[in-house]
Amino acid sequence: MNLLNGNDNLYEKLGVSSSKSEVYNALKDIDKGLYPTAFCKILPDISGDPNYCSVFHSDSAGTKTIIAYMMYKETGNINFFRGIVQDAIVMNVDDVLCIGVDGNVLISNTIGRNKYQISGDILNVIIDEFKKYTRKLSEWGFNISLAGGETEDIGDLIRTIEVGVSLFTRVPRSKIIKADNIQKGDAIIGFASEGKTNYDDIYNSGIGSNGLTLARHGLLNHIYYEKYPECYDTFINEKLIFFGKYKLEDKLPDTDISIGEALLSPTRTYAPVLIEIFKEYRKDIHAIFHCTGGGQTKCIRFGKALKYVKDNLFQVPPIFKLIQQSSKTSWREMYQVFNMGHRMEIIIPEKFIENILSIASSFGLKAKQVGYIEENEDKYSNKVLIKTKQDEFEYSFNFK
């Protein structure tokens, strides 16, 4: 059997699920909190104040840390570990932005390392970056404090390093965006993941922190199989380990950066833009979705009997084109794994489109209406319809 033929469900073959069906099934009987329709779980306030609620959230940089490790080993540049701190923080911050949180949060980090691979100097760089990036977010208007954390030497579990973050905040209930009022005719506005905004230091490839297992193995050459045995799951078939065409130092087409640098582009936050939008349009927003796990189908579990039609997506950024070309992953799966050009989307009535686009433009952030909402003919399911110049892809989710 040719494991690479057709390459549908390649993400599953690499030991990762884009749908997270097993996770959702395990959680099906867990209390969904005060607002079950919201993007994040929201709990009664720890103080008992009925006007407030509490939010606790956790996420990590995922396997992007492996790329940082490989780039460090290839170049000796310890600063490649800095970006993964931003990844871990933003994966939390931008999730809670989706429910209307606009700052005043505490975060704690958890770093798990293999002491024989990750030195104290690397830890110093990572912890220093936690201080620097939280300070930067606060300067942008998203007040965030570092509460401390835990560093674990767990070589039996971790072959290189894992960087995770937990976030806590209290929020007035009046500020919560519940995602329970999505309507037929609403516009879907997408915020670009690629490029350089006014608040980015350098060009961002748009990769974010999802799909890195597929990106890493589908792009990078098999020479890394022998070179870095600590950088892959030995339960995966060898034919799927680093089966791509490229080396880390190869140039990413149509850019001035290497493939390794592109894979390490830190996950961009949309905090500065959304904070400005919240000032005037919070009450008008029907939902915000962070297109992370599940890519362009992330929205499919929200609302009832809806069809998310995405027919005006951004041009596919070079990093995703190269992943598809090298790995031969089907385009259908690409849209289900990666953000493919925009990583945050706002659902809002059409009359506010120009206002939102104007705010995004003031930050140098590319944004546009990428689609709209229709009613789904099946009242027990939601659908996402992706329309591109080449093809159309439809995805369904039954919530009955």
CB 161 within 8 A of CB 118: yes
pLDDT in tens, the chain (400 residues): 345 555 568 878 887 765 556 665 666 667 889 999 999 999 999 999 999 999 999 999 999 999 999 999 999 999 999 999 999 999 999 999 999 999 999 999 999 999 999 999 999 999 999 999 999 999 999 999 999 899 999 999 999 999 999 999 999 999 999 999 999 999 999 999 999 999 999 999 999 999 999 999 999 999 999 999 999 999 999 999 999 999 999 999 999 999 999 999 999 999 999 999 999 999 999 999 999 999 999 999 999 999 999 999 999 999 999 999 999 999 999 999 999 999 999 999 999 999 999 999 999 999 999 999 999 999 999 999 999 988 999 999 998 7
Specify the pLDDT at position 27: 60
Tokens of 123: 């830890």
Q: Which residues of 72-105 are buried (b: 16+ CB within 10 A; e: fewer)?
A: bbbeeeeebbbbbbbbbbbbbbbbbbbbbbbbeb
Q: Do domains 1-30+177-400 and 33-176 have the same CATH topology?
A: no
Specify the pLDDT at position 19: 58
Of the candidates 388, 276, 280, the one whose C-alpha atom is nearest the C-alpha of residue 341 is: 388
156 contacts: CB under 8 Å, gap ≥ 6: none
In the chain, the DSSP E strands lie at: 43-44, 52-60, 105-113, 144-153, 161-172, 187-192, 287-290, 306-310, 342-348, 367-375, 381-387, 392-398
- Report the 10 Å Cβ neighbour count for 56: 15
- Please, what is the Cα angle at 107 between 155 and 192, to 5 degrees? 95
Cα–Cα distance measured from residue 367 to residue 371, given in angstroms and rounded to the nearest whole number:
12
CA dihedral 330, 336, 339, 345 (to 10 degrees): 140
Cα–Cα distance measured from residue 187 to residue 355, given in angstroms and rounded to the nearest whole number:
13
The residues spanned by each domain of the chain are 1-30+177-400, 33-176
CB 247 within 8 A of CB 259: yes
CATH of domain 33-176: 3.30.1330.10
Specify the pLDDT at position 13: 85
- pTM > 0.85: yes or no: yes
Tokens of 306: 């809806």
Side-chain half-sphere CA neighbours of 302 within 13 A: 29
Specify the pLDDT at position 2: 42
Report, in this order, helix, strand and coil percent for the chain, each rounded to 5: 35, 25, 40
**Architecture of the domain delimited by 1-30+177-400:** Alpha-Beta Complex (3.90)
